[in-house]
């Protein structure tokens, strides 16, 4: 089957308290006994407990503490959670597990569909990556003005997403 949606039971991580993310999701059709394993190269995405994940080519490059994120056909694919999606911008999250405590966490990204780059939105507890966001959204100077304002009204990633949709898209 190509492009079809199939129903069944799916696991993408081990149970708590010591979580690990699976490289391949485990899928079992309803009423069937056999479990199939699918990598991001095998499927377009999956839905689980009201969340949707897409398979996307994703590459991270680093050069002396500067990180850049790309999507292109030559990059290996990974599953990213789709938090919000419009025709102009996607808010995605990449899940990872902390090595020291097996705690599940995520990194938020913005992606303009059709672009070859993504931008990491935050730097953990340090807040927004203002310089990277201002450069990524150079087509919308209102973003930079808001991020660098003395009293910014945007405090969260969802608020920044909504600000872009409202103020920077036609």
Q: Is the residue at 140 inside a domain?
A: yes
Q: Is the residue at 39 inside a domain?
A: no
CA 131 to chain centroid: 20
Q: Is the residue at 70 inside a domain?
A: no
User: Cα(166)–Cα(117) distance, rounded to whole angstroms?
Assistant: 22
Q: Is the residue at 141 inside a domain?
A: yes
pTM of the model: 0.89
Three-class SS state of 99: coil
Q: Is the residue at 152 inside a domain?
A: yes
User: Cα(25)–Cα(79) distance, rounded to whole angstroms?
Assistant: 10
Q: Is the residue at 28 inside a domain?
A: no
User: For residue 136, what are the domain limits?
Assistant: 125-170
Render pLDDT for 99-158 as a digit per residue (tens, 0 to 9): 777 788 899 999 999 999 999 999 877 889 999 999 999 999 999 999 999 888 999 999
Render pLDDT for 31-70 as a digit per residue (tens, 0 to 9): 777 899 999 999 999 998 889 999 999 999 888 878 889 9
Place of tokens 């897409």: 54
Place of tokens 């902390």: 98
Place of tokens 């959204």: 137
Q: Is the residue at 166 inside a domain?
A: yes
Render pLDDT for 109-122 as a digit per residue (tens, 0 to 9): 999 999 999 999 99
Q: Is the residue at 35 inside a domain?
A: no
How many domains does the structure of the chain reveal? 1
Of 111, 110, 113, the closest CA to residue 157 belongs to 110
């Amino acid at each position: 089957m190509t492009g079809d949606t199939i129903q069944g039971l799916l696991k993408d991580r081990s149970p708590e308290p010591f979580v690990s993310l699976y490289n391949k999701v485990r899928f079992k059709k309803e009423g069937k006994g056999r479990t199939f394993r699918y990598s991001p190269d095998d499927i377009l995405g999956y839905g689980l407990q009201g969340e949707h994940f897409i398979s996307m080519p994703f590459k991270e490059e680093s050069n002396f503490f500067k990180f850049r994120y790309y999507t292109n056909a030559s990059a290996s694919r990974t599953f990213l959670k789709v938090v919000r999606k419009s025709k102009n911008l996607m808010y995605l999250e990449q899940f990872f597990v902390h090595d020291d405590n097996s705690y599940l966490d995520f990194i938020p990204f913005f992606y303009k569909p059709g672009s070859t780059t993504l931008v990491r939105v935050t730097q953990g507890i340090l807040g927004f990556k203002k310089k990277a966001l201002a450069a990524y959204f150079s087509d919308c100077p209102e973003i930079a003005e808001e991020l660098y304002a003395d009293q910014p009204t945007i405090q969260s990633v969802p608020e920044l997403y909504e600000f872009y949709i409202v103020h920077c898209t036609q």
